[in-house]
Amino acid sequence: MPAELLMVSRFPTKPGTAEALASVLEGAVDGRVFVGLESDEVLAVEVVSSDLDLAGVRERFADVARDFAQYLSGDIRREILDFVEAPKSCAGPLPETPYLQLRHVEVKPEEYFAYRSWRDETIFDVVRTAPEVEVFLAYHSLISTQPGVMFLSGFSVDPETYGAVFASERYRDIVQQAGDQYITGGTAGLYTKVYANTALRAA
C-alpha cells in the first residue's frame, strides 16, 4: 500500500558529487535515494507520519544543508505530497524499482475534478496497459513551492525503452489535450525527471 504522505527532497549537487552524496544519504534517509540521470541532483523520497509536528521537522532537517554543504550547489528543495490514487500500486509504502520518474503538472483549480476524470480515461489507461511501467502513483502537493499533481512512476527497463511509452503519437495527443484544457501554463507546465537508485541498478 503506497504511503499516504511523502517527503520529497531534491539536492542540487556540484558536478561529479551526486553519487558520493547518494551513498552518504543511503545511511541517513529513512526511504529511497536516487541520482538524477539528466541533471546533477540527488532525490530522497521518505514516508512522513501523519502526526508529524513542526518541531520534529525542525529538529530533523534544520542542519541537513549545512551537513552536506560540500556536495551541494544550492539549497535543498522539499515538499510534502498527499496520496490520491494508484493506477499501478506497489506492495510497500514506496516503489522498489531501480528507476523512478517524477512527472509534475500544475492543474487549473477550476478544472481539477474534470482533470481527475479525464486522466483516468487517458493517462492512466496508457499506464495500465504498459508493462514497462511497474508502479504509477498519483500524489498532490500538500506543502510545496511548486504545487500541483506529482506522479511517481517506477520502472526497471532501461530509460529509453520506458520513455517510448510516453513518446507515442497517442500520448503526445494526450499531453496536448492536457495543455489545452487543464495545465496551468499549457504544455510548458509539464516537467519530467528520471532518477536511478544506483545500488539497485548495479545489483
Q: State if pTM tops 0.85.
A: yes
133 backbone dihedrals φ, ψ, rounded to 5°: -95, 110
Residue 135 CA: distances (Å) to CA of 40, 115, 181: 25, 21, 26
Cα distance between residue 94 and residue 98, in whole Å: 12
Residue 132 CA: distances (Å) to CA of 9, 40, 75, 110, 127: 26, 25, 34, 33, 9
Q: Is 159 left (phi over 0), alpha (psi -120 to 50) or beta?
A: alpha
pLDDT of residue 49: 82
Per-residue pLDDT in tens (0 to 9) along the chain, 203 residues: 999 999 999 999 999 999 999 999 988 888 999 999 999 999 999 998 877 777 767 766 666 778 889 999 999 999 999 999 999 999 999 999 999 999 999 999 999 999 999 999 999 999 999 999 999 999 999 999 889 999 999 999 999 999 999 999 999 999 999 999 999 887 767 889 999 997 765 55
Q: Which CATH architecture has domain 5-202?
A: 2-Layer Sandwich (3.30)
pLDDT of residue 50: 76
Closest CA to 104 of 41, 148, 44, 144: 148
- The structural domains of the chain, with segments of one domain joined by +, span 5-202
pLDDT of residue 186: 74
